[in-house]
């Protein structure tokens, strides 16, 4: 009797979350998957065409290009965030004076809306009036102004740099929290074994950070793989598709060309890639545990 009442009460307390999850997440996702099998204008034409949308995407050069670009972008940003975030966390963990001041300053970009980050960097990258060219010209590093966002060879790196500026603080904060969980005794034991600073880092700090770093890599990859805003506002996917990440490709298919079925199919492909990536990471994580 008590347990039935318990179960009912538990269900009532979780009901709002359950309803939102079903109506606003599960149902739309199923709807999106269903849409990918149709040729439709979302109003009155609903032709079931099976896997035709997928078949078309498989031979669509611009879609395949966008998948490649997205892998490149996600790799650059996740690697950059990981290196910068971890290094800064290690520096902040040394217990230096004024650490709090540095921490507040270094966490700032995390607070910035992506739109504002895009705006600041677009202004700094401006080929004629931008801070970047002015400083690099003055320092003699470049001889003539560079069009950072209009050069197909540079644009992806330029966009990734802005994304790293926005993204590293989260990694820094998470790694900093991870460093606190490493027992001090381990360092003391390492000292007794006459481990040097480098030895302690390799044999105590890095293994201690492993779980945090792996979790961060999984979340960050899923996050940046589907990123839209900063890239869209800096380059809109240009020049010549050099920064056309898959979110931009889907957005344009849907809301510029009104190819809803194609766009839905492309979104399903992204979902599958994200799930596959996280499954691979899970495997790596499990192998690590054993």
Partner 1 sequence: MTRNAIRPADAVAYGLLVLSSLVVLVPVGWMLSTALKGSDELFSQTVRWLPQNPSLDAFVRVFTDYPFGAYFANSILIVTVSTVIAIAFAALAGYGVTRFHFRGRGSLMTFLLLTQMFPSIMLLIPYFKLFQSVGLIDTRTALIIAYVSFQLPLCSWMMVGYFRSVPTELDAAAAVDGCSRLRTFFQIILPLTLPGVAATAIYAFISGWNEYLFALVLTSSEDKKTVPVGIGQLIGQYRIQWNDLMAASLYALVPLTLIFIFLQRRIISGMTAGAVK
Contact status: 21 vs partner 1 (CB under 8 A): yes
The least distance separating partner 1 from the CB of residue 56, rounded to whole angstroms, comes to 17
The binder of partner 1 chosen from 208, 219, 239, 241 (CB under 8 A): 219
Contact status: 66 vs partner 1 (CB under 8 A): no
The least distance separating partner 1 from the CB of residue 263, rounded to whole angstroms, comes to 6
Q: Which residues contact 99 (CB under 8 A, 6 or more apart)?
A: 92
Contact status: 212 vs partner 1 (CB under 8 A): no
The least distance separating partner 1 from the CB of residue 218, rounded to whole angstroms, comes to 9
Residue 15, CA distances (Å) to 2, 3, 20, 23, 28 in order: 20, 18, 9, 12, 19
Contact status: 50 vs partner 1 (CB under 8 A): no
Identify which of residues 118 and 213 has a Cβ nearer to partner 1 in the complex.
118
Contact status: 55 vs partner 1 (CB under 8 A): no
The binder of partner 1 chosen from 113, 183, 196, 207 (CB under 8 A): 113
Do the Cβ atoms of 243 and 73 come closer than 8 Å?
yes
Do the Cβ atoms of 246 and 71 come closer than 8 Å?
no
Contact status: 270 vs partner 1 (CB under 8 A): yes
Residue 38 dihedral angles phi and psi, to the nearest 5°: -120, 150
Q: What's CA 4's distance to the chain center, in Å?
A: 43
Candidates 44-52, 80-88, 175-183, 205-213 — which segment interacts with partner 1 by CB under 8 A? 80-88
Q: Interior CA angle at 137 toward 136 and 142, to 5°?
A: 80
């Amino acid at each position: 009797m008590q347990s039935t009442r318990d179960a009912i009460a538990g269900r009532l307390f979780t009901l709002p979350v359950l309803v939102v999850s079903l109506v606003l997440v599960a149902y739309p996702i199923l709807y999106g998957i269903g849409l990918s099998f149709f040729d439709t204008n979302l109003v009155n034409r609903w032709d079931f065409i099976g896997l035709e949308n997928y078949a078309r995407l498989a031979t669509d050069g611009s879609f395949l290009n966008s998948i490649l670009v997205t892998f490149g972008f996600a790799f650059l940003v996740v690697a950059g965030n990981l290196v910068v975030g971890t290094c800064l966390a290690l520096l902040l963990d040394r217990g230096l004076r004024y650490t709090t001041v540095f921490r507040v300053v270094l966490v700032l970009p995390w607070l910035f809306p992506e739109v504002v980050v895009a705006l600041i960097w677009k202004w700094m990258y401006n080929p004629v009036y931008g801070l970047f060219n002015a400083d690099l010209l003055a320092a003699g590093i470049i001889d003539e102004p560079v069009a950072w966002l209009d050069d197909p060879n540079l644009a992806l790196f330029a966009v990734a740099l802005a994304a790293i500026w926005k993204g590293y603080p989260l990694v820094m904060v998470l790694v900093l929290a991870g460093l606190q969980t490493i027992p001090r005794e381990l360092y003391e034991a390492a000292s007794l074994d006459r481990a040097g600073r480098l030895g302690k880092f390799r044999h105590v700090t890095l293994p201690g950070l492993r779980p945090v770093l792996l979790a961060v890599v999984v979340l960050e990859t899923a996050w940046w793989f589907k990123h839209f805003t900063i890239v869209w506002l800096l380059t809109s996917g240009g020049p010549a598709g050099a920064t056309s990440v898959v979110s931009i490709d889907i957005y344009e298919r849907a809301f510029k060309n009104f190819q809803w079925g194609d766009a839905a199919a492309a979104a399903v492909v992204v979902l599958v890639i994200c799930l596959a990536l996280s499954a691979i990471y899970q495997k790596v994580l499990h192998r690590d545990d054993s």
